[in-house]
Amino acid sequence: MAETYMVKSPLMGTFYRTPSPDEKPFVEHGQQVNASDVVCIIESMKVFTELRAGRPGVVKRILAENEELVMKNQDLMEIEIA
């Protein structure tokens, strides 16, 4: 079985899949990513934090919905490590 890496939220906030309301999502299911690619944004108290893939690979699962309130340490995206 392939090794996977879970991108977790470092803080409580609003999960955004896109850089701004009218743009395309950072990543889609099945997309290849580099470790340093931005995969989503967490907005908390007016501050936007970009989250990166952390490992090179393929986006296997997206576990939160756009504009969902997520908790600290909540699982957001699973990367299948290449």
Q: Which is nearer to other proteins, 6 or 12 (CB)?
A: 12
Binding site for other proteins (CB under 8 A): 10-14, 43-47, 49, 69, 72
Q: Which is nearer to other proteins, 48 or 61 (CB)?
A: 48
- Helix spans in the chain (H): none
Cα–Cα nearest to 18, from 53, 42, 44 = 42
Task: Report residue 23 as tokens.
Answer: 């743009």
Q: Which is nearer to other proteins, 34 or 73 (CB)?
A: 73
Q: Which residues, including other chains, have CB under 8 Å from residue 17's CB and lie 6 or more apart?
A: 25, 26, 27, 40, 62, 66
